[in-house]
Amino acid sequence: MAKSHLKKIAFLIVLSICAFSCKEKSNQVNEEKSSKQSQLKYAKGFTIENYTELTVLNVNSPWPNASKVLKYALVPKEKLATITINKNEYDAIIGVPVENIVVTSTTHIPALEALNEETKLIGFPDTHYISSTKTRTRIDNGLVAELGSNETLNVERVISLQPELVIGFGTSGQTAAYKTIQNSNIPVIFNGDWTEENPLGKAEWIKFFALFFQKETVAETLFSEIEQNYIAAKKVALMADKKPTVMAGAMYKDIWYLPGGNSWSAQFLKDANAHYLWEDTKGSGSLSLSWEVVLNTAKNADYWIGPSQFTAYTEMQKTNIHYTQFDAFTQKKIHTFANAKGTTGGLLFYELAPQRPDLVLKDLISILHPELNTDYEPVFYTPLKD
């Protein structure tokens, strides 16, 4: 009897465990993949996993040499109360669509505007850097709060705004301000669009922003148009008879900084059918050279694209007489993006160029191969002033 009784108890325990497990499973997130999956063609810094009840956003490259993939769960607001999510698996859980947001880089502004979600922006650090007329109007009307600067973010002001989401920007994960915000139950998601090397890879981050507003289809359409324009411009550039040589950068103190061969800037010049004189160097960041080395390589370069933030030849000559030794200087073949500014001095290139690489490429082609499109009006680049 005792043995039979023990077997009965054991059976009931197993049955109870099974019932408990089944009940638990019914409350867990359905991890079946959705039939609609987001495909990324160029961006390497993030991936998207669509499940039946949520979307998982993995940011692989929130900053250079990041050792950890940041994992975020995006859950439709109507499902937040009905599903169980293991919070330890995610760096943040966000209910979507978000109704108000704080972003921290000017590169985030064009994506919000392209998605027609700029009215959701309620705070930004260093608002004077924003060039967009549409968002500047909202700032001037007091609809976007000034939050200090990225280096000294006004955490108290951010918390008082109670945004549903903060899109962070950082060179590392050691950002005390963001940790304080997170501890106040405000989700922070890091955006790493600036780490992309491919121009179309940067632009594809519009799909990252679209997730928070449930506008994935809109983003797909917008990006597809940019991609098609970019590819078409590349084909036009290949029609040129000559491949001009190009130098870049400028000196800071005694060091000349210019784009590395694997950089975003170098890729633009390659796609514009130009010979960037440092295109064979390694690295996606800046090269640091002496002016003598640059002169030896680029004295006879056909064009000088992007001389830092110089806007005039007289300014360059006054700053450093060595600039006058280059043919591109004496022949007035220098072009800069530093003249295209917003009303408060922010540079349009830094804000819009990552989102619209097609416009950057068309600018460069009009400069380097003027015979291919005589009617084109550049958006970013203009000849250096006298």
pLDDT tens-digit series, residues 282-327: 988 899 999 999 999 999 999 999 999 999 999 999 999 999 999 9
Same domain, 254 and 170: no
- In angstroms, the CA 52 to CA 36 distance is 9
Whether the predicted pLDDT of 30 surpasses 70: no
- DSSP-derived letter for residue 374 is T
CB 307 within 8 A of CB 336: yes
Cβ atoms within 10 Å of 196's Cβ, excluding its own = 22
Same domain, 300 and 347: yes
Residue 34: pLDDT band with limits 50, 70, 90: low
CB 188 within 8 A of CB 182: yes
Q: What are phi and psi of 72, to 5 degrees?
A: -125, 140
Q: What CATH number did the domain enclosing 379 receive?
A: 3.40.50.1980
Same domain, 187 and 121: yes
Same domain, 191 and 313: no
Same domain, 172 and 280: no
Judged by DSSP in three states, 64 sits in coil
- In angstroms, the CA 119 to CA 110 distance is 12
**Closest listed residue to residue 267, CA positions, set 40, 42, 39, 41:** 42
* pLDDT for the residue numbered 173: 64
Same domain, 180 and 258: no
Domain final residue pick, 226, 259, 294 = 226
- Tell me how far CA of residue 333 lies from CA of 209, 266, 273, 385, in angstroms: 38, 18, 17, 11
Same domain, 183 and 247: no
Whether the predicted pLDDT of 240 surpasses 70: yes
* pLDDT for the residue numbered 15: 35
What does pTM read for this prediction?
Answer: 0.89
Residue 32: pLDDT band with limits 50, 70, 90: low
Residue at 125 is within a domain:
yes
Residue 36: pLDDT band with limits 50, 70, 90: low
Same domain, 180 and 133: yes
- In angstroms, the CA 195 to CA 215 distance is 24
Comparing 370 with 3, which gets the higher pLDDT?
370
Domain final residue pick, 166, 192, 226 = 226
Residue at 5 is within a domain:
no
Residue at 31 is within a domain:
no
**Closest listed residue to residue 334, CA positions, set 302, 288, 293:** 302
Residue at 86 is within a domain:
yes
Q: Which residues contact 330 (CB under 8 A, 6 or more apart)?
A: 324
Residue at 6 is within a domain:
no
* The two structure tokens encoding residue 14: 């197993």
Same domain, 115 and 182: yes
- In angstroms, the CA 242 to CA 51 distance is 51
Burial readout 19-38 (b: 16 or more C-beta within 10 A, e: otherwise): eeeeeeeeeebeeeeeeeeb
Residue with tokens 């975020």: 72
pLDDT in tens, 61-89: 888 888 889 999 999 999 998 988 998 99
Whether the predicted pLDDT of 383 surpasses 90: yes
* pLDDT for the residue numbered 170: 79
Q: What mean pLDDT do residues 11-24 have?
A: 36
- In angstroms, the CA 201 to CA 42 distance is 4
Residue at 12 is within a domain:
no
Q: Kindly report the average pLDDT of the chain as a whole number.
A: 90
Residue with tokens 């440092």: 278
Which residues make beta-bridge pairs with 33?
Answer: 51
CB 368 within 8 A of CB 273: yes
Whether the predicted pLDDT of 232 surpasses 90: yes
- Tell me how far CA of residue 145 lies from CA of 25, 98, 148, 154, 158, in angstroms: 44, 18, 9, 11, 9
In this structure, of 13-17, 151-155, 195-199, 337-341, the range with the lowest mean pLDDT score is 13-17
Q: What mean pLDDT do residues 253-282 have?
A: 96
Radius of gyration of the chain (CA): 26
- In angstroms, the CA 166 to CA 150 distance is 12
**Closest listed residue to residue 212, CA positions, set 198, 191, 184:** 191
Q: Which domain holds residue 307?
A: 239-383
CB 248 within 8 A of CB 304: yes
* pLDDT for the residue numbered 31: 56
* pLDDT for the residue numbered 8: 41
Residue 14: pLDDT band with limits 50, 70, 90: very low
CB 207 within 8 A of CB 47: no
**Closest listed residue to residue 114, CA positions, set 198, 219, 2:** 219
110 alpha-carbon distance from chain centroid: 10
Same domain, 185 and 258: no
Same domain, 211 and 270: no
CB 68 within 8 A of CB 59: no
Give the helix/strand (H/E) hosting 63.
none
* pLDDT for the residue numbered 172: 74
Strand bridging mode 286-289 / 255-259: antiparallel
Q: What mean pLDDT do residues 17-25 have?
A: 36
Whether the predicted pLDDT of 6 surpasses 60: no
Q: What mean pLDDT do residues 20-45 have?
A: 59
- Number of domains present in the structure of the chain: 2
Same domain, 171 and 265: no
Q: What mean pLDDT do residues 217-238 have?
A: 97
262 alpha-carbon distance from chain centroid: 17
CB 306 within 8 A of CB 249: yes
Residue at 233 is within a domain:
no
Residue at 16 is within a domain:
no
- In angstroms, the CA 276 to CA 47 distance is 32
**Closest listed residue to residue 131, CA positions, set 150, 105, 152, 151:** 105
pLDDT in tens, 342-368: 999 999 999 999 999 999 999 999 999
Domain final residue pick, 193, 226, 259 = 226
Residue 5: pLDDT band with limits 50, 70, 90: very low
* pLDDT for the residue numbered 37: 53
* pLDDT for the residue numbered 20: 35
